Copies of this chain bind each other. A is one copy, B any other.
Amino acid sequence: MSTSAPEPTEVLSVDDLREAWDLLVSEERLSGFRALERTEAETFFLGLSSRDQSELLLELPQPERRSWLRLLAPDDAADVIQEAPREEWPHLLGLLDEPTRREVSALLAYAEDDAGGLMSPRYARTRPEMTIDEAIAYLRRQARERPESLYYAYVLDQEQRLLGVVSFRELFAAQPNQKVAEIMRTKLQTVHEDMDQEEVAKLFDRLHFVALPVVDESGVMKGIVTADDIVDVVREEATEDIQKIGGTEALDAPYLDIAFFAMIKKRGGWLMALFLGEMLTASAMGYYQAEIARAVVLALFVPLVISSGGNSGSQATTLVIRAMALGEVRLRDWWRVVRREFLAGLTLGVLLATIGMIRILVWESIFHTYGIHAGVIAITVGVALVGVVMWGTLMGSMLPFLLRRLNFDPASASAPFVATLVDVTGLVIYFTTAHFILRGTLL
């Protein structure tokens, strides 16, 4: 869909531009951006997402691109290049200075979701045999040359293997003539360069460090990952999970930015799959057609009964999916979850059954809706509700375990998926219950 742009773009302040940004088409973005004073424009540019930075960069005339790309730290520059079409990569890499280009090329070689794809190759380094005063002087020289991040100083040997780490606090607090080796911490928490970003995020969550060092198999230091990048990761992973729980594929783009047909594809796929599954309800209902014809009253409670199973299943599946994503529940906890959800399903089922039966009996006594068989109908609906809610709760809580066991993403056990599954089986539970309880009276 094309985006309309009601605001005029000539006189936009930096705040106006930020506000209006999402509504502007690319030419308007460009002219608004170029109208900004240079330092304001720089701050503005640094605040954009990698996607927007990339688009804006490619809109700019060739000669202007270099200084904007070089404004970025190597890991951010790598993100911007990653967002650009493949054929632009050589050109964009060519805009960088030689050492940065090597760093950025190395970063682009890592998969985006690995620790290597998150890390910055610029960090403060020192040697174990230096004195504190020497180390501080050395760091001052490094700061003038290039490192961008000064949270910890990493102590490396000649082969660039990581020996230890000193926080700036510790460095500053030590006696000037102590050796770095005396004060460095050697029990290190490191991140392997191939570690998945979700695992890296869990480490940050647990350890509360501002930065973690990234190393390869032989302990050679490759870079650092900082907590500010992890904020993005956590947000992104949560977005993917939420979208899957809602029954779509992860959009991988902001809702208003994704192209219409790309969105339809991500939603339509699941929706059709669910629809095909749900068709079994028509078959199940067809199987009980004779019962329905004899006692139409049975049909009245079909949506109520099966949706109760779907709702309790949605609750159970989202709780378990999220607990798994947070590492609170692991595969081997499945039996504890079964016991818990069995009891939860029973309690919730009895609760809903009680309300449902009261509703039927009250309506009968006021409106005489259900005739002389109101009592047995109430019992049928009540028993079916207990069964369906217990079944929904157990299915909803076990499905994420099953998916994880088969190496699928547990978040695919979306609320609509569980609801559909429970709709079909819920019908069978309901009509089987009816068959046994109403035999001889209504059926």
Contacts and interface: CB of A to CB of B under 8 A. Distances in A.
Interface string A260-271: 100110011011
A92 interface: no
A421 to B, nearest CB: 11
Interface residues of A, number: 124
Interface string A355-371: 11001000000000100
A187 interface: yes
Given A242-B242, A267-B344, A318-B246, A43 B187 contact: yes
Interface stretch (A25-33, A63-71, A80-88, A167-175): A167-175
A403 interface: no
Contact of A260 (B149, B286, B340, B423): B340
A173 to B, nearest CB: 4
**How many subunits of this chain does the assembly comprise?**
2
Interface string A279-307: 10110011001001100110111111011
A65 to B, nearest CB: 21
Interface in A375-417: 414-416
Contacts of A279: 304, 356, 359
A9 interface: no
A329 to B, nearest CB: 6
A147 interface: yes
B416 A328 contact: no
B143 A169 contact: yes
A228 interface: yes
B286 A304 contact: no
A245 interface: yes
Contact of A247 (B239, B306, B315): B315
A419 interface: yes
- Best-surrounded residue of A271, A308, A414 (most CB of chain B within 10 A): A271
Contacts of A223: none
Contacts of A281: 303-304, 307
A43 B206 CA distance: 11
Contacts of A315: 246-248, 267, 270-271, 416
A432 B47 CA distance: 52
23 contacts: A22-B328, A140-B172, A151-B151, A210-B226, A226-B227, A239-B322, A242-B242, A245-B245, A247-B315, A255-B320, A255-B328, A255-B329, A260-B344, A272-B355, A275-B356, A281-B304, A282-B304, A307-B420, A310-B310, A311-B416, A314-B415, A415-B416, A419-B419
